[in-house]
Amino acid sequence: MKNIYGITLTDLEDYFLKIGDKKFKAIQVFEWLYKKRVKSLEEMSNIKKETLERMKQDFTFSRIKMIAQKQGKNVTKFLFELGDHEKVEAVLMNHDYGNSLCVSSQVGCNMGCTFCESGRLKKIRNLEVHEMVLQILSIEETLHLRVSHVVLMGIGEPFDNYDHIISFIDIINSGKGMDIGARHITVSTCGIIPKIKDFIDNGRQVNLAISLHASNDTLRSQLMPINKAYPLKELIAVLKQYIQKTNRRVTFEYILLEKVNDFEQNALELAHLIHGMNAYVNLIPYNETSHIEYKKSNQKRILKFYDILKKNHIQVTIRREFGSEVMAACGQLRANYERS
Query: Which residues form the catalytic set?
Result: 89, 330
Give per-residue burial for 54-74: e unless 16+ CB within 10 Å, then b: bbeeebeeebbebeeebebee
- Residue 97 phi/psi, 5-degree rounding, is -90, -5
Q: Please pick, from the candidates 103, 166, 169, 190, the single residue that binds ligand SAH as defined by CB under 6 A.
A: 190
Give the shortest CB-294-to-ligand SAH separation in angstroms: 8
x/- track of binding to ligand SAH for residues 89-128 (CB under 6 A): ----------------------x-x-xx------------
Neighbours of 51 (CB within 10 A): 18
CB of 275 closer than 8 Å to CB of 236: no
Compute the 3-state secondary structure of the chain and give helix, strand, coil in percent, each to the nearest 5: 40, 20, 35
- Per-residue interface string for the shown chain with ligand SAH, residues 130-169, x marking contact by CB under 6 A: -----------------------x---x------------
What one-letter code names the amino acid at 267?
A
Site string for ligand SAH, 259-288 (x = CB under 6 A): -------------------------x-xx-
Alpha-carbon Rg for the chain in angstroms: 21
Q: Could you tell me which stretch among 82-90, 120-128, 182-190, 299-307 binds ligand SAH (CB under 6 A)?
A: 182-190
Minimum CB distance to ligand SAH smaller for 51 or for 287: 287
Site for ligand SAH in 57-76 (CB under 6 A): none
Cα–Cα distance, 266 to 309 (Å, whole number): 10
Helix (H, G, I), strand (E, B) or coil at 137: helix
Residues engaged in binding ligand SAH (CB under 6 A): 111, 113, 115-116, 153, 157, 188-190, 211, 253, 255, 284, 286-287, 289, 329-330
